[in-house]
């Protein structure tokens, strides 16, 4: 290690691991006379951060538990005993201190569940608890030559439990006795994790400082004059580890990055102080004043402006002793129970936020966590236009890297503590009514977690647990610890008897908010209390299965203002099935027709093991796959039709909720965005990071400004979730039949929509017209009248009441011509490709547009006129999509038919000449500005594609779709 006054070094490479029962030496011997030097038995290369099971999988000692039924071949800790998953982890690091006034700490940000740490022969016992940080002063233990030996013996959770034959939520619930992840005994969406996530699962580092150390600063902003003036409050704890009083200069600097790595210094303040020997003191800076600071907004409401705050301390006679930095956002989050709906209403910077988001478990069940993966995960959520993620109580308290990307992309975070009713007070067998055995440990972990995460602007609220409140003493303590500073209390709170919203104990004298443990965010005792679900803790979340799309729009669907969990299907594409299952897992479900006419899907054993959720609900929802044809040919056919259903299902869910914005609902969180393994339910992208069509259904439905069809009333609606009035806009509605003609075309002009409102515009009356087609396409466009710029575009495939989509099956044989132009830019391994797809078929000459009589519309906050328009206007709108092909790569898909190019799907692959059965040549992840889209005759779509490729891999972009099934076309070949 270089001789610097302070530096943090992450120890994430060069680790070895071995099962404790196979190592003949003690920890003292391992770190003195008998260190392992290479991965020679019993030592293997270790995954740190990670888990024991992740290490065993990496070394192929056990098979990939996420593939097929291989998890069943791995011994469970309940059968093996805890010693089987008790492992040594060993590494070396170089660190020597240049002066007697330097100090070194060895830091563990997370170990599951406890550990014995040996450094150069010295032992330290780390206490239990998955969600706590450990810092060991190793100054006097380091070797003079700088070469240090570190061994960590990691013990599994104390109560790993057993897995009942029938499985169930949280196994036998014993895991709930420990302060650890609770999903690891299995759930209805997850198989058991055999080692119960034992390991050094989070960052390990060494940090070198001078005599004074900075500990857990707390940053808080307060606003005045309608957010024009703000003050930044900053408090930090300082520890003087020397035996003499330290005369110090403590500095805070606030900068904002403008562009091209140019930073603007907003504030620079230095204070002098004296810290007694071997003591800790708390210091609060004088308030820093900001005039009209750039605010941090959630996704879809504005920019995510972030300031870099750096706190450093110089000690007289030594120099800089320590420094700390963090990105900080000026914003104020409030919430209250909305009187009109009974749902919890969130406001950010004074603006109401209609919550549309998802639930989150964790990114990977083996805790192979990384910044790169987090970046992809959170960007995917932002790409779907979501504005909140709920970190479910049975999973992780998420890491600072997760929160960093939520800060960056604008995702509000609902963070729960480690309580879930399934393993804390109910279930079969009955679980622990008093939660974890060690309540003091739980509270210690909770307080340490708050200190770790409280400076992130994306963090919106703390919640005690999932579908359960913590035990009374823990709940009471959390209410006190997380009480709000008066500046952050909501001034509007209804008086319904919906639970204890504020702590019993109130601080009588308003202090600097940064001296509270948090002080800026509400604490809610459970996920179904105080404005969520029915507000009283009853089971009023869900449902969790396939629904009739129109039901989401009906008043009877869900009776409460904010649903924290509503779930549905999540079948991935066929390539993912082939990549994650052997051939016997490629068999599609058996469609079993019941006496009442409903169909029951019977999946193969591998799908059942991977928690497949059917596309039918006997006695409630007819099979949605078979709506497209009673004969489903094979895996490719099934998965393609599943994507059609995914798109419709999730678009309808969000559009149905948004249709009742503020009149019935304040928000909804979908269960869930993804699975931490290769699951087959409730996901918008699979574990390999390929998006389902449901991803793009959500992306469409959750646009800040959106045009949609109410599937219950068939009225066209305009949703405006922004704070600006929408004016001088028009809606174009066109119906296209399977022959490529346009029997219905209307334009409604001079519309406006007030901010934060849903406007019902006009009924789409085509189904009531003379001789409507049984299956048809509807294209809605909301555009700016001044320049014809498309603000929102929404494409539906529909059938008449009581019908189905079976006529789409022969439509697959139509050969619709396409022209594709592309532009490629490459920066090292990062590719950005613009793909411009045009449906070059033309409407038949006899395609006519109906005469539209002048009509006046005045409904709610929207008003306008509808006038007769000829095809010239229609073509003029479409010409806005037209692109030039000069200097671009051009490819064509030939065809002689006229009609809609339906459900086009782009994908990126490695260019290869030969493929083995089941081989996955996809390049993942890929970010698409749109996918699974359809084009009417003459229409174009511009899609931006970005991705990275491994060294030596040449990518190509392919296109397939309903009309192109089985004929995947390479449209961009990168030479």
Count CB neighbours of 536 within 10 A: 13
| Integer Cα distance of 912 and 941 in angstroms | 28
Burial of 846 (0-12, 13-18, 19+ CB in 10 A): exposed
Name residue, tokens 């669907």.
557
Asked if residue 60 has a cis previous peptide bond (ω within 30° of 0), the answer is no
430 touches 384 (CB < 8 A): no
DSSP label at residue 508: S
Q: What does 3-23 look like in DSSP terms, one character per residue? A: --S-EEEE--SS-EEEEGGG-
| Integer Cα distance of 752 and 705 in angstroms | 12
- Pick the catalytic residue from 185, 467, 601, 939: 467
| Integer Cα distance of 439 and 472 in angstroms | 10
| Integer Cα distance of 795 and 190 in angstroms | 34
640 touches 965 (CB < 8 A): yes
Residue 407, helix vs strand vs coil: helix
| Integer Cα distance of 308 and 286 in angstroms | 18
Q: Which two tokens stand for residue 40?
A: 């020679």
615 touches 680 (CB < 8 A): no
| Integer Cα distance of 333 and 793 in angstroms | 32
- Pick the catalytic residue from 185, 565, 655, 939: 565
Asked if residue 401 has a cis previous peptide bond (ω within 30° of 0), the answer is no
| Integer Cα distance of 89 and 44 in angstroms | 10
| Integer Cα distance of 486 and 958 in angstroms | 57
Name residue, tokens 């240090």.
148
Query: For residue 156, how many C-alpha atoms fall within 13 Å in the half-sphere facing its CB?
Result: 25
- SS3 annotation, 640-703: HHHHHHHHHHHHHHHHHHHHCECCCECEEEEECCCCCCCCCCCCCECCCCCECHHHHHHHHHCC
Burial of 395 (0-12, 13-18, 19+ CB in 10 A): buried
| Integer Cα distance of 250 and 405 in angstroms | 29
Q: Is 266 a catalytic residue?
A: no
604 touches 595 (CB < 8 A): no
Q: List CB contacts of 166: < 8 A, sequence separation 6 or more.
A: none
| Integer Cα distance of 966 and 662 in angstroms | 45
| Integer Cα distance of 805 and 837 in angstroms | 25
| Integer Cα distance of 85 and 874 in angstroms | 67
Residue environment code for 750-762, b if the CB has 16+ CB neighbours within 10 A, otherwise e = bbbbeebbbbbbb
Residue 722, helix vs strand vs coil: coil
| Integer Cα distance of 288 and 268 in angstroms | 9
357 touches 669 (CB < 8 A): yes
Q: Which two tokens stand for residue 338?
A: 């909305």
Q: List CB contacts of 381: < 8 A, sequence separation 6 or more.
A: 357, 358, 389, 409, 411, 673
Q: Is 868 a catalytic residue?
A: no
User: What separation, in Å, do the N-terminal and C-terminal C-alpha atoms of the chain show?
Assistant: 43
Asked if residue 819 has a cis previous peptide bond (ω within 30° of 0), the answer is no
| Integer Cα distance of 169 and 421 in angstroms | 10
The residues that are catalytic are: 467, 565
């Amino acid at each position: 290690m270089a001789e610097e006054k302070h530096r943090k070094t992450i120890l994430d490479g060069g680790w070895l691991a071995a099962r404790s029962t196979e190592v003949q030496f003690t920890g003292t011997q391992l770190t003195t006379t008998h260190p392992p030097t290479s991965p020679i038995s019993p030592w293997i290369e270790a995954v740190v951060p990670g888990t024991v099971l992740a290490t065993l999988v990496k070394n192929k000692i056990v098979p990939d538990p996420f593939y097929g039924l291989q998890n069943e071949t791995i011994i469970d800790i309940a059968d093996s005993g805890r010693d089987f998953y008790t492992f040594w982890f060993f590494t070396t690091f170089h660190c020597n201190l240049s002066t007697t006034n330097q100090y070194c700490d060895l830091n563990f940000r997370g170990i599951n569940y406890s550990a014995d740490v040996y450094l150069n022969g010295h032992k330290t016992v780390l206490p239990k608890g998955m969600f706590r940080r450990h810092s060991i002063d190793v100054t006097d233990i380091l070797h003079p030559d700088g070469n240090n030996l570190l061994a960590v013996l990691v013990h599994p959770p104390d109560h790993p439990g057993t897995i009942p034959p029938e499985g169930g939520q949280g196994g036998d619930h014993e895991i709930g006795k420990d302060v650890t992840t609770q999903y690891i005994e299995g759930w209805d969406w997850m198989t058991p994790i055999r080692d119960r996530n034992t390991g050094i699962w989070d960052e390990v580092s060494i940090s070198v400082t001078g005599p004074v150390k900075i500990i857990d600063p707390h940053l808080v902003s307060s606003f005045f004059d309608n957010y024009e003036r703000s003050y930044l409050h900053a408090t930090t704890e300082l520890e003087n580890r020397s035996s003499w009083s330290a005369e110090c200069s403590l500095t805070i600097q606030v900068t904002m990055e403008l562009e091209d790595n140019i930073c603007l210094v907003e504030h620079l303040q230095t204070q002098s102080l004296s810290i007694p020997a071997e003591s800790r003191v708390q210091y609060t800076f004088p308030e820093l004043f900001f005039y009209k600071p750039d605010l941090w907004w959630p996704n879809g409401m504005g920019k995510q402006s972030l300031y870099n705050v750096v706190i450093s301390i110089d000690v007289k006679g030594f120099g800089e002793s320590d420094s700390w930095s963090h990105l900080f956002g000026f914003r104020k989050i409030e919430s209250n129970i909305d009187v009109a709906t009974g749902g919890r209403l969130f406001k950010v910077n004074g603006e109401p936020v209609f919550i549309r988001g998802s639930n989150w478990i964790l990114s990977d069940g083996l805790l192979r966590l990384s910044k790169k993966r987090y970046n992809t995960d959170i960007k995917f959520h932002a790409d779907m236009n979501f504005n909140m993620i709920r970190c479910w109580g049975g999973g992780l308290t998420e890491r600072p890297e997760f929160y960093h990307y939520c800060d960056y992309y604008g995702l509000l975070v609902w963070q729960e503590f480690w309580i879930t009713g399934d393993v804390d007070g109910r279930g079969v067998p009955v679980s622990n009514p008093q939660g974890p055995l060690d309540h003091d440990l739980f509270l210690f972990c909770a307080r340490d977690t708050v200190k770790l995460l409280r400076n992130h602007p994306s963090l919106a609220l703390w919640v005690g647990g999932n579908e359960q409140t913590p035990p009374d003493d823990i709940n009471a303590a959390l209410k006190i610890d997380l009480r709000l500073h008066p500046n952050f209390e909501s001034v509007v709170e209804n008086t319904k008897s919906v639970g204890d919203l504020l702590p019993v104990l109130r601080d009588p004298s308003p202090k600097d908010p940064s001296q509270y443990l948090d002080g800026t965010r509400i604490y809610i005792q459970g996920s179904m209390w105080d404005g969520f679900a029915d507000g009283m803790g009853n089971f009023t979340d869900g449902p969790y299965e396939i629904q009739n799309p129109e039901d989401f729009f009906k008043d009877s669907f869900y009776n409460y203002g904010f649903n924290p969990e509503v779930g549905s299907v999540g079948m991935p594409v066929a390539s993912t099935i082939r990549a994650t299952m052997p051939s016997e897992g490629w068999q599609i479900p058996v469609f079993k027709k019941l006496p009442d006419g409903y169909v029951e899907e019977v999946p193969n054993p591998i799908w059942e093991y991977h928690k497949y959720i059917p596309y039918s609900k006997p006695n409630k929802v007819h099979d949605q796959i078979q709506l497209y044809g009673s004969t489903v040919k094979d895996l490719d056919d099934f998965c393609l039709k599943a994507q059609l259903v995914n798109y419709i299902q999730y678009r309808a869910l969000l559009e149905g909720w948004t249709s009742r914005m503020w009149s019935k609902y304040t928000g909804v969180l979908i269960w869930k965005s993804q699975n931490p393994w290769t699951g087959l339910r409730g996901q918008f992208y699979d574990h390999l990071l390929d998006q389902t069509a449901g991803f793009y259904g959500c992306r469409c439905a959750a646009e800040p400004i959106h045009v949609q069809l109410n599937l219950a009333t068939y009225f066209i609606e305009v949703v405006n979730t922004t704070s600006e009035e929408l004016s001088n806009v028009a809606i174009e509605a066109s119906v296209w039949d399977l022959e490529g003609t346009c029997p219905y075309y209307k334009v409604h002009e001079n519309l406006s929509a007030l901010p934060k409102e849903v406007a019902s515009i006009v009924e789409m009356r085509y189904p009531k017209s003379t001789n409507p087609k049984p299956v048809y396409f509807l294209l809605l466009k909301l555009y700016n009248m001044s320049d014809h710029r498309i603000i929102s575009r929404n494409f539906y495939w529909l059938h008449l009441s009581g019908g189905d989509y079976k006529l789409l099956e022969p439509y697959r044989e139509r050969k619709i011509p396409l022209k594709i132009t592309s532009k490629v830019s490459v920066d090292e391994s990062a590719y950005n490709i613009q793909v411009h797809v045009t449906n070059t078929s033309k409407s038949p000459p006899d395609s006519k547009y109906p005469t539209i009589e002048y009509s006046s519309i005045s409904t709610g906050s929207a008003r306008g006129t509808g006038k007769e328009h000829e095809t010239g206007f229609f073509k003029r709108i479409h010409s806005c999509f037209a692109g030039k092909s000069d200097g671009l790569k051009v490819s064509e898909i030939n065809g002689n038919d006229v009609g809609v190019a339906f459900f086009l799907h782009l994908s990126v692959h490695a260019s290869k000449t030969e493929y083995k059965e089941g081989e996955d040549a996809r390049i993942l992840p890929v970010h698409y500005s749109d996918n699974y889209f359809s084009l009417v005759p003459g229409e174009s779509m511009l899609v931006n594609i970005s991705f990275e490729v491994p060294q030596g891999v040449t990518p190509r972009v392919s296109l397939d779709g309903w009309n192109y099934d089985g004929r995947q076309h390479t449209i961009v070949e990168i030479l």
